[in-house]
Structure 1
Amino acid sequence: MSSTHPTATRHRRNGGDLVVESLAALGARTVFGLPGQHALGVFDALRRSALRYVGLRVENNAGFAADAYARATHGVAPLLVSTGPGALMTLAALQEAAAGSAAVLAIGSQVPLAGIGGGRHGYLHELADQSASFRGVVKSVHTARTASQVPSAVAAAWESALSAPHGPVWLEIPQDVLLAEVDVPPVAQLDATPRELLPRPELIAAAASRLTRARRPVILAGGGVVRAGAEAELLALAEQLRAPVATTFGGKGAFPWEHPLSLRSWMEDRHTTTFLEDADTLLVVGSGLGELSSNYHTFRPLGQVVQIEADLGKLESNHAALGIHADARAALAALVKAVGEDGEVQEDHGPRDTGPAGEAGAEPATPEAAVSALLARVHDRIAGQELDLEQRILASVRDALPDGAVSCWDMTILAYWAWSAFDPRRTNALHSAQGAGGLGYGYPAALGVAVADPARPVLAVSGDGGAMYSIAELATARQYDLPVTWLIVDDGGYGILREYMTDAFGEATATELTRPDFVALAGSFGVPAVRTSPERLRTDLAAALAAPGPSVVVLPARLRMFAPTHLDA
């Protein structure tokens, strides 16, 4: 055993205490993680702090839980892990946090200072350059090589994670620094207030002018609206302009689903794509117009595009635009004010030309009528594909889920349906892994949301393949008695990959899976479970969500996706 390990008689503060004191000084209340040999100094310090520790069974799942906690709270979620294998196991979760703009502050240990960078000392878990593994994934990488550097390094990492756009950061601290005694006062105050990313006034004026003079203004709202908490500003601007609003999959809940101007989230529908293309001014807020938001890069705007984006690398990255590098809330608030002061309303320009939603030769419709006509076309197209089972199951899930509850979705066919067709009924209430697309997100993410707000139930939805990534976390749910109901749609394999391969090659390979009896397995963890059917799903799911603590509902069903519509004529 290494001589640098702490002993049971040590009581003096050490570098680990500086870590937890710094986190507490910055406002942290909860940390996620999993201990390891080199990180024992900081985990020992947790018992001397007021921070709540939530330990998961796999580092990747701990990262997913921290990701969803950060999304749910609009804050920073600390994640504590060990060196080498423990650190590397977080990479898939941090990639999702980066894609979804979740402020995860991952703090990992390192081998002792003498071994860093050499790769020759033979320390357990040693990597030649551990931080290099994170540079292409996270927003920023930080290192503290002495105890005196720890508070400032934690504060710098916190500020980076919380600056717009939010995102994950990596901070590593050597084992001997975490264990070294310190003779300085406890950390009492740190300032890591992120710099506001405000829009330039001349750009707001130009955008307001284009929008107020547009005959067919349309808004596309992405995840940046939700992360910035800009829903009220988006609603105010849309109603000022009478502009239809579509939300990307990441932006679900940014705009009321049932609002007369809501185009909802049918981003993979050609009718919706055409509607967005035909806007004479399209305002894109908090989206880089990537693969899914552009209907697999088939989107071709015919009019002007105004893009508000906090991530500079995404600004005009796919389409030319009047680019405004700013936080979505600040920019939308400025636009609301500028449009109001412009003094010109849409009605002054004559009848609104609503574009492709109206029938050929018909009189120009109102924006609300154009939205209604578009949604009817989408409904008719889906109705013609004999997908009643899928729609009934999704409706049963929606009916069973209380209005105030949050749902977290894994990469499974039912989640793909939810991206387009599920009404979250409020903002920041649906989280999924559609940013990076890794399996295993749904259940640990739901645990993170439940930690953030244990007073209301949370739903996780997985396929049987994705569920196997997270099955160990049933122990976590039971240990902390978290009110998470896990719906596992069991179709005997990787259903979406089965469908993709069959469509592309005529048959599927490597998609069929042997799986456990999920009901019996959940019971072995002390978690109540039931096997249901499409007919009983609504009742069984509602009962599980209403019961205290964790639960599992298993639905044997083989679902299909609706037809891809970026290929439609």
Structure 2
Amino acid sequence: MLTCGELLVEMLEDCGVDTVFGIPGVHTVELYRGLPSTKINHITPRHEQGAGFMADGYARVSGKPGVCFIITGPGMTNITTAMGQAYADSVPMLVISSVNNTEQLAMGGGRLHELPSQSNLVSGVAAFSHTLMRPDELPDVLARAFAVFNSARPRPVHIEIPINVITAPADHVKRKLGAVPSRPAPCPDAISRAVQMLKSAQRPLVLLGGGTASASAEALRLVEALDAPTAYTVNAKGVLPKGHPLALGSNQSLVPVRELVLQSDVVLAIGTELGETDYDAVFDGNFRIDSQLIRIDIDAEQLNRNYPADIAILSDSRLAIQALLAGLGEGAAFNEDSPGCKLAAKVRKQLEALIPDAWHAQKRVLDVLQETLPDMIFAGDSTQIVYSGNHLFEANSPRTWFNSSTGYGTLGYGLPAAIGAKLAAPQRPVVSLIGDGGIQFTLPELASAVEANAPVIVLLWNNSGYGEIKRYMQNRNIPTIGVDIYTPDFLALARGFGCNAERAESFAQLRDLLQSAAKADRPTVIEIQESAAFLTA
């Protein structure tokens, strides 16, 4: 007899799933029965939050949904934080959980792992949550999930399966999934109006979001055709190549870029929610768009959130950009002496003058990482070197710089997300940029990395506490309570988990450690103390 649980793993493999993150429990073990008959690799984190963050990092690098098997009750409450981060950043994630037997649901009988309603619990951090009441529903529900991942705004999907349904017979279930819908194409009339507006623009500006990560070639052609200075969100880093003369970086929260936005007569925003953590990271409410605004987004509800559009185009970013390029036709050959490039250069010079002294050393650390290992992927946490890097670092390609300091803003993300990224791209070096406070949220995942043969590089930025929050409190004359936390010996802990571990005392040593770590067969923790002499020299 083929059970529903066995059918599920077979259908996941048919959908292209090659990795599942999960911690087996008595309510989910039947999901594992069929795994040996597939080629799906199972990764065991040390906490369900780690499972979600690993799936997130895997999805961001691979472009495919990260998949998790999660136990009823505490497993689901543990993973909701990771689902919240993925939801905020539009990351595809499939969370498959168990739930109590169908006749026990919502009865309040005090069963093992019982919650009044898991589905309601996660509904705010999922595109949808479905309780599978019969094996026959499985193909339709999976088809819905992959339609979200491939054809809509990608976000987590939760499927919960009662224990008695997991073991129910499924030989009779038709395995055919419905075709994945095409991604939405733009309305021709809206494109025509947008083309006319852009052709008449004297001072166009482009804002790119994470929705353009898979349309970098088209986005590059568009900004050059418009000769438009271009800013981009953290999740869009690398869409324009490093050093491009029209690039303004991810600096929409800084005055020079804000002034440029106000001086522009047409703003074209593509695949960006125009959200606070990318456009108002200083939280002063002073980012404004007063000009005509064209918005392109795959999410209809997003098109008029935050900043209402003059022209709203519901579409996949690549398809919309291609349509705009066709309408704009051949323009003058792009060159670095164009008015747009000169204007962008002027703004970049103004931005350079605003760089705080403390950021220079942090930027040099990031430069050493990128110069030593040019194809490195950076998975960051909420920590000083990530905050500065969001403004100063330029990625060589899309999907290589992402972190949790924007959007949901959780701590502990950087280490497990780097593990997921490494599993998605085992041939590339992957570094976790994480602070001493953040790593204590998910430190045991070092053991998961060793076990999974994922030799990530952990760059541990150690300022002996919650340094950014402490500065925030000091600037507001608030007593610094709860931020000077005990700092353990991270190098000893890392070695205890089976990792290599060293402290960098110079930029030269940092380069040597990175080169060794890239060749290692296990994770390497490289600690940098914020107070180190070589950073302040």
* Mapping of residues 13-412 of structure 1, within 5 Å: 13-119=2-108, 121-184=109-172, 189-226=176-213, 229-295=214-280, 296=283, 297-321=285-309, 322-340=311-329, 366-382=339-355, 385=357, 387-400=359-372, 402-412=373-383
Whole-angstrom CA distance in 2 between matches of 1:387 and 1:430: 18
Scaled by the length of structure 2, the TM-score of the pair is 0.93
Report the Cα distance in structure 2 between the residues aligned to 1:80 and 1:38, rounded to whole angstroms: 11
1:443 equivalent in alignment to 2:430: no
Change (3 A) 1:116 1:315: same
In structure 2, C-alpha distance between the alignment counterparts of 1:314 and 1:534, rounded to whole Å:
46
| Partner deviation per Cα, 1:235-256 (whole Å, 9 max, x = no partner) | 1111111111111122111111
CA contact (8 A) 2:380 2:403 kept: yes
Instruction: After superposing the two structures, state which structure 1 stretch, 537-546 or 164-173, moved more.
Output: 537-546
Counterpart amino acid of residue 92 in structure 1: T
Say if 1:15 and 1:41, in contact at 8 Å, map to a contact too: no
CA contact (8 A) 1:288 1:316 kept: no
- Report the alpha carbon displacement of residue 542 of structure 1 after superposing the two structures with TM: 3.3
State how far apart, in whole Å, the 2-side matches of 1:20 and 1:344 are.
51
**Counterparts of 1:451-470 in structure 2 under 5 Å?**
451-470=423-442
TM normalised by structure 1 equals 0.88
Matches of 1:544 and 1:237 in 2, distance apart?
A: 39
Q: Residues 496 and 80 of structure 1: is their aligned pair in 2 closer, same or farther, counting only changes over 3 Å? A: same
Offset from partner CA, 1:179-200 (integer Å, 9 cap, x none):
2233337x65423513421111
Distance in 1, matches of 2:286 and 2:355, equals 20
Contact preservation (8 Å) 1:140, 1:160: no
Q: Is the 8 A contact 1:267 1:292 kept in 2?
A: no
Out of 419, 442, 456, the residue aligned to residue 484 of structure 1 is 456
Alignment-mate amino acid for residue 249 of structure 1: V
Return the alpha-carbon distance in structure 2 between the equivalents of residues 65 and 216 of structure 1. Answer: 42
Match of 1:473 among 438, 445, 451: 445
- Range moving further from structure 2, 426-435 or 229-238: 426-435
Deviation, structure 1 residue 157: 2.1
How far apart in 1 are the matches of 2:112 and 2:487? 34
Contact 2:83 2:156 in 1 (8 A): yes
Question: Contact 2:273/2:305 (CA < 8 Å) preserved in 1?
Answer: yes
For residues 421 and 338 of structure 2, what CA distance do their matches in structure 1 show? Answer: 42
Worse-superposed segment, 140-149 or 464-473: 140-149
> In 2 relative to 1, CA 276–531 (structure 1 residues): closer, same or farther, beyond 3 Å?
same
SS in 1 for 2:139: helix
State the partner residue of 2:535.
none
Q: Distance in 2 between matches of 1:479 and 1:486?
A: 16
CA distance in 2, matches of 1:32, 1:100: 20
Contact 1:25–1:190, Cα closer than 8 Å, also in 2? no
AA aligned to 1:202 is: D
8 Å CA contact 2:370, 2:376 repeated in 1: no
| SS of alignment partner, residue 166 of structure 1 | coil
In the TM superposition, residue 339 of structure 1 has moved relative to its aligned partner by 0.9
1:421 corresponds, among 368, 392, 409, to 392
Q: What CA deviation, in whole Å up to 9, does each residue of 1:247-298 have, x standing for no partner?
A: 1122111111211111122222111111122111110111111112322431
Which amino acid in the other structure matches residue 22 of structure 2?
Answer: G
Q: Residue by residue, what CA displacement relative to the aligned partner does 1:493-519 show, whole Å, maximum 9, x if unpaired?
A: 111111111112254211111132111
Residue 155 of structure 1 deviates from its aligned partner by: 2.4
| Aligned 8 A contact 2:94 2:158 in 1 | yes
Q: Which residue pairs with 1:562 in the alignment?
A: none
SS at match of 1:287: coil
Whole-angstrom distance in 2 between the partners of 1:431 and 1:449: 10
1:212 is matched by which residue type in structure 2?
K
Distance 1:266 1:534, change over 3 A: farther
Secondary structure of the 1:32 match is: strand
3-state secondary structure, aligned to 1:403: coil
Equivalent pairs, count: 524
Tell me how far apart the structure 1 counterparts of residues 83 and 377 of structure 2 sit (CA, whole Å): 21
Shift of 1:91: 0.5
Equivalent residues of 2:142, 2:177 under 8 A apart: no
Cα distance in 1 for partners of 2:234, 2:359 equals 21
For residues 193 and 333 of structure 2, the distance between their equivalents in structure 1, rounded to whole angstroms, comes to 17
For the residue of structure 2 that corresponds to 1:313, the secondary structure is: helix
Q: Is the 8 A contact 1:160 1:194 kept in 2?
A: no
Shift of 1:558: 4.7
Q: What CA distance in whole angstroms lies between the structure 1 residues aligned with 2:95 and 2:463? A: 35
Unaligned runs of 5+ in 1: 1-11, 348-363, 560-569
Cα distance in 1, alignment partners of residues 144 and 98 from structure 2: 17
- 1:512 maps to 484
Matching residue's letter, 2:106 = G
Aligned pair 1:544/2:517, yes or no?
yes
Match of 2:401 in 1: 430
Structure 2 residue matching 1:272: 3-state secondary structure: helix
Instruction: Say if 2:227 and 2:339, in contact at 8 Å, map to a contact too.
Output: no
Measure how far apart 1:485 and its partner are.
Answer: 0.5
One-letter identity of the residue aligned with 1:472: P
Question: Is the Cα–Cα contact under 8 Å of residues 145 and 177 in structure 1 kept in the other structure?
Answer: yes
Question: Which 10-residue stretch deviates more, 12-21 or 277-286?
Answer: 12-21
Gaps of at least 5 residues in structure 2 are 533-537
Q: 1:537–1:555: 8 Å Cα contact kept in structure 2?
A: no
Give how far 1:344 is off. Answer: 7.0
- Alpha-carbon offset, residue 316 of structure 1: 1.8
Change (3 A) 1:233 1:501: same
Distance 1:326-1:14 versus aligned 2 partners, 3 A rule? same
Please tell me the residue identity of whatever aligns with 1:524. G
Moved more, 152-161 or 13-22: 152-161
| Same amino acid, percent of matched pairs | 32
